[in-house]
Amino acid sequence: MPKKIALGVLCAISLSANNTALEKRVELLEKKLQELQIQNTQAKYQTRSSSFSQNAYLPDIALILNMSSIARNIDNTQYENFAIPGFITTGSAQLPFNKNRGFNLNYAELALHSVVDPYFEAFAMLHIHPDHTAIGEGYVKTTSLPYGLGIKAGKFKSSFGRINAKHQHAWNFDEQPIIYKALFGPGSIGDMGISTQWVAPTDTYVMVGVELLQGSNKRSFGNTQKNNLTVAYLKTSLDITQNLSTLTGISFARGKNLFGGDTDIYNVELTMQQQFNSYSSLTWQSEALYRKRQNIATDAKQAGFYTQLVYKYNKNYATGIRYDGIVKNSVDDLQKYTVMAQYHPFPMSRLRLSYSYDKTKVIDGSRKNIHTVMLTLNIAAGAHGAHDY
Amino acid sequence: MKKLLLLLVTNLALFASMQIDTTYSTLGAIAKKVGGDFVKVTVLGSNKYDPHFIVPKPSLLAKLRRADLLIINGGGLEIGWLPPLLRNAHNPKINEGSLGFLDASQSLELIDKPTTVSRAFGDVHAEGNPHYITDPYTVPIIAEAIASRLAQIDPIHKFAYKQNLQNFKKEWSSFLTQFDAKMAQCSTKEVVQYHELFNYFLKRYNIENIGTIEPLPGIAPSSKHTLELIMLIKQNKVKKILQDVYHERKTAQFIAAKTGAKVVVIPHDLGAVGGKTLEDFYNNIASKICK
Ligand SMILES: [Zn+2]
């Protein structure tokens, strides 16, 4: 307001006098006013402690709850004892999620993240099941190493392949791809060890990583007399257009198995994502895995893959299909088909309805096709988990 | 030989350009003004997309990996996409707290800071409204912050940056004089908008924001809320509905049809609706709101 009054007064003066000296003064005063306005905007310099952290010095904390309601054409006791020929024997399947017809509380998870000091940050994922509690992940990661290097140490999910490092609630389908379940079990490769990653200083994203791990995953490795598992991978990304991005990778794992030999696992992954607008996209994601084991008579060489297509319609709705197949195995006609539709009333909550037709299981000694209809609810409360690619 | 090498090295140092990454395009244009020939500017987030939800493409990691300076909008605007990228780019130069990390919001005072923060009120901006860039008066302040940071990171060219800043401030001050004069003629006094993207501009030029199309921040429109908004628009005789480029337009068009108010598509960032320069950006906002 004072600007208007000042201008009014000055205008009146300049009208009556109408000489150039006064006009100059008007100009000068306007300049001065503008500067004052800028200073006004500048106002108090706020001293906020941090741009990203949400609680000054407390760790960022998120609570994740995952539950489901299931209809299935198999009794719970029969389902618990399923086998997958060549991979999982009767009774040895671990089923931490979505086990029972009826209702399941899958887990409550506490995710913690904190910057420790200028050189380290720490993460922990405390996994609370109805009947046990586990440290899903707990590791420190460097933040200040030169030359594009990053090292983490502790227990963490390996960056082997595409889906391995992602937590169950971040998957696009509630059930693990069959090939992952068959080769690693529900926890995938999550192990104690050290990881070193290097991002190349190039226009194109190229990342290579090497992980030295204990090898405690019994399905493929399991000999933990010393750290017996080594994982290595290379990932690269190309943007074909502004809106079409890709991520490709090859991974390799070599560890000691329980039969005294080596297990080698190879993985190729490809993700392509077409973005239609801020909230809508079509993503095609596939992975193929090949396992070779020493000191094993049958099924020494096995392979399988999954391929999935997910369409995000808008902020609230998404739908997807997935095909799972085992292609190299003593029994190789093992497939699974899944469709899902999900609704996010809000970014923090998700309801997902899915149907799967599973032809990979043996129940009570004979192949049995399983139909499952599942409704899951996932809640992530607290600190914002940023969206991953 | 040694002399030749020395010459080569100093020459390289003189012509080496600072790699600046900015999260959004208006920040990029300001950085270019201040940095001039000594900087290369890369904008990470597309101006066609919702600034809260930039797709964290892995290709952005390669851009962050080689940056000497990262300039962010701050105020929580990047919290949904930048932190994991920053973590995985492995570039200590641009970590939060480093010289190469500049949060532009720290030089400004944010408005609309909520007194209570709960997600029951939607995806609110806990630190206040971060969409300050629509106010042209923030431009010279940000330019100043960038210039002083560049002088610290690249002291060889500090006089050039100072000179660029002075020239730009002069240029901008005469632009603001014209701009204010134009805005003084603006007959629009009330508007509604989709998300509170233009509050700083509206506040600067005494235009009242009557309501938003989204019922709560980040929540899609509901029919109940839309009907209430239509009532408000009629009561207040609102003539303009400010639509951004990235939200759906059906709701705004529906409201327009019911009320006679006009939908105008306004850029939330430089280049979102045509225009190449900072002046274009603000002129575009002004002409769409006022005409
Ligand atoms: Zn916002």
CATH number of the domain bearing residue B154: 3.40.50.1980
Whether pLDDT at A43 is above 60:
no
Residues in Cβ contact with A204 at an 8 Å cutoff, skipping those fewer than 6 apart: A236, A237, A238, B59, B62
- Is A389 domain-assigned? no
Identify which of B65, B110, B248 has the shortest CB distance to residue A199. B65
| Closest residue, chain B, to A118 (C-alpha) | B97
Domain co-membership, A185 together with A269:
yes
In chain B, how many domains are there? 2
- Is A345 domain-assigned? yes
Domain co-membership, B132 together with B243:
no
* CA–CA distance, A231 with A209 (Å, rounded to integer): 8
- pLDDT bracket for residue A346 (50, 70, 90): confident
3-state secondary structure of B207: coil
Whether pLDDT at A227 is above 90:
yes
Measured in angstroms, the CA of A85 and the nearest CA of chain B are apart by 38
* Rounded distance from Cα A132 to ligand 1 centre (Å): 41
CB of B195 within 8 A of CB of B242? no
Whether pLDDT at A192 is above 90:
yes
Judged by a CB distance cut-off of 8 A, whether residue A132 touches chain B is no
- What pLDDT, on a 0 to 100 scale, did the predictor assign at position A12? 45
Domain co-membership, A18 together with A82:
no
DSSP character for B220? -
Residues 127-146 of B with CB under 8 A from A: 127, 135, 137-138, 140-141
Domain co-membership, A190 together with A162:
yes
DSSP character for B19? E
Average pLDDT of chain A to the nearest whole number: 89
Question: Which of A9, A188, A35, A191 shows the shortest CA–CA distance to A97?
Answer: A188
- Is A387 domain-assigned? no
Chain B positions touching A207 (Cβ under 8 A) are 61
| Closest residue, chain A, to B200 (C-alpha) | A41
Domain co-membership, B126 together with B263:
no
- What pLDDT, on a 0 to 100 scale, did the predictor assign at position A58? 79
Domain co-membership, A231 together with A372:
yes
Among B156, B176, B196, the domain-final residue is: B176
| Closest residue, chain A, to B102 (C-alpha) | A51
- Tell me the Ramachandran region of residue A190: left when phi exceeds 0, alpha when psi lies from -120 to 50, beta otherwise: beta
Q: Which of A149, A244, A278 to mutate to test the interface with B (most CBs of B within 10 A)?
A: A278
Domain co-membership, A257 together with A318:
yes
Domain co-membership, B166 together with B194:
no
- Is B227 domain-assigned? yes
Judged by a CB distance cut-off of 8 A, whether residue A388 touches chain B is yes
CB of A60 within 8 A of CB of A383? yes
pLDDT (mean) for A260-273: 97
Whole-number Cα distances in Å, B21 to B25, B39, B101, B182, B249: 10, 10, 10, 33, 31
* CA–CA distance, A310 with A318 (Å, rounded to integer): 7
Judged by a CB distance cut-off of 8 A, whether residue A343 touches chain B is no
Domain co-membership, A202 together with A236:
yes
Identify which of A148, A281, A386 has the shortest CB distance to residue B81. A386
CA A55 to centroid of chain Cα atoms: 23
CB burial of residue B15 (10 Å; 0-12, 13-18, 19+)? exposed
In chain A, how many domains are there? 2
Query: If residue B86 lies in a helix (H) or strand (E), which one and from where to where?
Result: helix B82-88
CB burial of residue A10 (10 Å; 0-12, 13-18, 19+)? middle
3-state secondary structure of B67: coil
Residues in Cβ contact with B101 at an 8 Å cutoff, skipping those fewer than 6 apart: B69, B70, B72, B94, B95
Whole-number Cα distances in Å, A85 to A119, A219, A292, A359: 48, 14, 16, 11
- Is A374 domain-assigned? yes
Domain at A318, CATH number: 2.40.160.10
Domain co-membership, B26 together with B61:
yes
Lookup result for tokens 């993240």: A113
Residues in Cβ contact with A158 at an 8 Å cutoff, skipping those fewer than 6 apart: A164, A165, A188, A189, A190, A191, A195, A211, A213, A231, A253
* CA–CA distance, B77 with B269 (Å, rounded to integer): 13
Among B122, B157, B176, the domain-final residue is: B176
Domain co-membership, B30 together with B72:
yes
Judged by a CB distance cut-off of 8 A, whether residue B105 touches chain A is yes
Q: What is the pLDDT of residues A103-145, one digit of tens each?
A: 999 999 999 999 888 899 999 999 998 888 999 999 999 999 9
Strand partners, A320: A310, A340
Domain co-membership, A274 together with A216:
yes
Q: Do B126 and A54 touch (CB under 8 A)?
A: yes
- pLDDT bracket for residue A42 (50, 70, 90): low
Domain co-membership, A169 together with A23:
no
Chain A positions touching B110 (Cβ under 8 A) are 46
Domain co-membership, B49 together with B107:
yes
* CA–CA distance, A204 with A206 (Å, rounded to integer): 6
Chain B positions touching A279 (Cβ under 8 A) are 50, 53
Domain co-membership, B260 together with B197:
yes
Share of chain A above pLDDT 70, in %: 89
Annotate chain A with three-state secondary structure: CHHHHHHHHHHHHHHHHCCHHHHHHHHHHHHHHHHHHHHHHHCCCCCCCCCCCCCCCCCEEEEEEEEEEEEECCCHHHHHCCEECCCECCCCCCCCCCCCCEEEEEEEEEEEEEECCCCEEEEEEEEECCCCEEEEEEEEEECCCCCCEEEEEEEEECCCCCCCCCCHHHCCCCCCCHHHHHHHCCCCCEEEEEEEEEECCCCCEEEEEEEEECCCCCCCCECCCCCCEEEEEEEEEEEEECCEEEEEEEEEEEEEECCCCEEEEEEEEEEEEEECCCCCEEEEEEEEEEEEECCCCCCCEEEEEEEEEEEECCCCEEEEEEEEEEEECCCCCEEEEEEEEEEEEECCEEEEEEEEEECCCEECCEECCEEEEEEEEEEEEECCCCCCC
CB count within 10 Å of CB A61 equals 15
Judged by a CB distance cut-off of 8 A, whether residue A8 touches chain B is no
Judged by a CB distance cut-off of 8 A, whether residue A15 touches chain B is no
Q: Do A315 and B220 touch (CB under 8 A)?
A: yes
Domain co-membership, B130 together with B245:
no
Alpha-carbon Rg for chain B in angstroms: 21
Domain co-membership, B19 together with B121:
yes
CB of B263 within 8 A of CB of B289? no
- Tell me the Ramachandran region of residue A295: left when phi exceeds 0, alpha when psi lies from -120 to 50, beta otherwise: left
Q: Which residue segment(s) compose the domain that A374 sits in?
A: 54-382
Q: Do B80 and A387 touch (CB under 8 A)?
A: yes
Among A10, A32, A50, the domain-final residue is: A50
Torsion of CA B82, B84, B89, B93, to 10 degrees: 60
DSSP character for B98? S
CB of B77 within 8 A of CB of B128? no
| Closest residue, chain A, to B144 (C-alpha) | A42
* Rounded distance from Cα B133 to ligand 1 centre (Å): 12
DSSP character for B133? G
Whether pLDDT at A44 is above 50:
no
Domain co-membership, B96 together with B210:
no
Domain co-membership, A191 together with A257:
yes
- What pLDDT, on a 0 to 100 scale, did the predictor assign at position A386? 63
Among A50, A70, A89, the domain-final residue is: A50
Lookup result for tokens 């990390």: B101
CB count within 10 Å of CB A203 equals 11
- Is A83 domain-assigned? yes
Task: Render each residue's pLDDT in chain B as its tens digit; 291 residues.
Answer: 555 555 555 444 455 689 999 999 999 999 999 999 999 999 999 999 999 999 999 999 999 999 999 999 999 999 989 999 999 999 999 999 999 999 999 999 999 888 776 767 667 788 899 999 999 999 999 999 999 999 999 999 999 999 999 999 999 999 999 999 999 999 999 999 999 999 999 999 999 999 999 998 888 899 999 999 999 999 999 999 999 999 999 999 999 999 999 999 999 999 999 999 999 999 999 999 998
Among B176, B204, B224, the domain-final residue is: B176
- Is B181 domain-assigned? no
Q: Which residue segment(s) compose the domain that B221 sits in?
A: 186-290
Q: How many CB pairs under 8 A join A and B?
A: 147
Domain co-membership, A307 together with A372:
yes
Domain co-membership, A65 together with A40:
no
Question: Which of B72, B87, B133 shows the shortest CA–CA distance to A145?
Answer: B87
* CA–CA distance, B99 with B103 (Å, rounded to integer): 11
Annotate B222-278 with three-state secondary structure: CHHHHHHHHHHHHHHCCCEEEECCCCCCHHHHHHHHHHCCEEEECCCCCEECECCCH
Q: What is the pLDDT of residues A292-344, one digit of tens each?
A: 999 998 899 999 999 999 999 998 999 999 999 999 999 989 999 999 999 99
CB of B77 within 8 A of CB of B131? yes
Domain co-membership, B122 together with B218:
no
* Rounded distance from Cα A299 to ligand 1 centre (Å): 55
Lookup result for tokens 């190469």: B100
- Is A388 domain-assigned? no
* Rounded distance from Cα A351 to ligand 1 centre (Å): 25
| pTM as predicted | 0.87
Domain co-membership, A60 together with A186:
yes
Whether pLDDT at A210 is above 90:
yes
- pLDDT bracket for residue A356 (50, 70, 90): very high
Lookup result for tokens 């750290």: A227
Most confident of A15-19, A51-55, A186-190, A307-311: A307-311
Domain co-membership, B233 together with B122:
no
